[in-house]
Homo-oligomer: A and B are copies of this chain.
Amino acid sequence: MSGVRITKRMASKLPTTFKSIIYSNHNLEDCSSVLSLQNYQPKQNLSKSIVVRTLAFPINPSDINQLQGVYPSLPDKTYDYSTSEPSAIAGNEGVFEVISLPENKSSSFKIGDWVIPIRSNQGTWSNYRLFDRDNELVKVNGLDIYTAATVGVNGCTAYQLVNDYIKDWNPKENDWLVQNAGTSGVSKFVTQIAKAKGINSLSVIRDRDNFEEVAKTLEEKFGATKVISESQNYDKEFNKTILPKFLGPNPNIKLALNSVGGKSSGAIARKLQRDGLMLTYGGMSKQPVTLPTSLHIFKGLTSKGFWITDNVKRNPESKIEAVHEFVKLYTNGDIISPKDEIIPLTWDVKKFTDEQVLDLVKDGINSTGKKKLVVLNWD
């Protein structure tokens, strides 16, 4: 994947022209129409910068929402890319390889390190990028490219959801979390992180013909303690008579993770013990979070939101910690690469015309199904 390693002595061969996918405007109906491919000479002095080349970047729903103009976090638009209108580079997530470090300055990075940006809105849909300071990047050496390119959003989201809100997890006391959308990328990470901590997970998935097969995979491959269907999730009789058998004696369901909303959110909230916490980090059903009043008043439920972008903005250290811990879990064999849930689209750096690059990304935006990852082939 990475090709010939570039050493520090090769800094004289650094690129003079960068190629980035940029936008100046937004379009709700046809967001890919706002994109163009820009070739430009960066204004910064490369010898004073951390120069990275991009190995891969995902096309995330939040990237698309930014192009549509409906996302509450947007990069500043600038004239940095030799455009006539203020522009921003698209993309928030991606994995880079360090190819040059500032001269006459110590750094915590080495040539060849794999890194990801700490903050969002840095612009990742580009062949090369420049960073000024070490504290804009975090190392992800040891991850495969699929994991590295998605650890910043999905990986960190899952890590923080499990670790940063419940401080008194006790693996000896039958502690549980419950989550809906149990087949999502984040949910699978959650399941594996929970298992590594000794926390049980109850995952709710949509009803489907091959329910047994999907449930078996989640339980056996991803370590979900138990998988149930949405219809079971709502079913009073099931919750009263069958679920308790799955949970065992005196279960402590401390945390509910909601990325669906509507009826599903109310049903997982109902499973929480007294003074439980529900964190909402998505709303796939497009229905509002719906909570029986009695859960709030008589069971002490707290319902909060989770947004990795905002968490990192408030506390960048929390992302560095999450990435480090995630890498440890991965190298320890506790996390499976999400590669089966990703469709790679190859950007052949040496051969592709600008038009081909743009078409590749637009196709990625406009096709449905699994997550698309644009992988740059530098050979």
Contact = CB atoms under 8 A, between A and B. Distances in A.
Contacts of A300: 304-305, 307, 310
A305 B298 CA distance: 8
Interface in A303-343: 303-307, 310
Nearest to A296: B305
A181 interface: no
Instruction: Please state the number of chain copies in the assembly.
Output: 2
A347 B370 CA distance: 72
B293 A291 contact: no
A293 B302 contact: no
Contact of A295 (B296, B297, B302, B305): B305
A283 interface: yes
A299 B307 CA distance: 9
A261, A296, A306, A310 interface centre (most CB from chain B within 10 Å): A296
23 contacts: A72-B294, A280-B293, A282-B293, A282-B297, A283-B293, A283-B297, A288-B292, A289-B291, A289-B296, A290-B291, A291-B291, A295-B305, A296-B306, A297-B305, A297-B306, A298-B305, A298-B310, A300-B305, A300-B307, A302-B302, A302-B303, A303-B303, A303-B304
Interface of A: 72, 261, 266, 280-283, 288-307, 310
